Amino acid sequence: MKEKYKLVILAILYFIFGKLTGLYLSCPIHEILGLYCPGCGITRMILSILKFDFYKAFRYNILIFILSPFFVFLFLESIYSDIKNKESMYKKINNKVWYFLIIILIVYGILRNIYPVLGPM
């Protein structure tokens, strides 16, 4: 089984476990340093999306909420490519795009600790 499918199954199991027990992992960066990382609020964002509460999802992690359709498209396209035995679009994306996304994540991580409105609500 490909690694990406294992990660998706693991994520689904994590959300099922969390829903059943109310226990979710907290962000180690926030716990240790008291800072919001670019990923803080993603779990709550996904849970809000599953409840169709898009305003709360947006407030939990603005950047990831905005980028989610892009990543969902890439994931679904890669599954389709696997089924059709074609090269995935993911592999065709220029490295400059990935570097740009990394820079955006770093800047977002800095800004959400300066401007409280960008932090998870």
Number of domains in the chain: 1
pTM (2 d.p.): 0.76
Task: Say if residues 112 and 36 touch (Cβ distance below 8 Å).
Answer: yes
One pLDDT digit (tens) per residue for the chain, 121 residues: 577 677 778 878 887 887 788 777 788 888 899 899 998 998 889 889 989 999 999 999 999 999 999 988 888 888 888 888 888 776 778 888 889 999 999 999 999 999 988 888 7
**HEC string of the chain?**
CCHHHHHHHHHHHHHHHHHHHCCCCCCHHHHHHCCCCCCCCHHHHHHHHHCCCHHHHHHHCHHHHHHHHHHHHHHHHHHHHHHHCCCCHHHHCCHHHHHHHHHHHHHHHHHHHHCHHHCCC
- Work out the angle at residue 76's Cα, subtended by the Cα atoms of residues 118 and 71, and round it to the nearest 5 degrees: 20
What pLDDT, on a 0 to 100 scale, did the predictor assign at position 1?
A: 52
The sign of the CA dihedral 55, 121, 103, 98 is negative
Q: Which pair of structure tokens corresponds to residue 105?
A: 């994540």
Domain span at residue 33 reads 3-118
Hey, what amino acid is at 96?
K
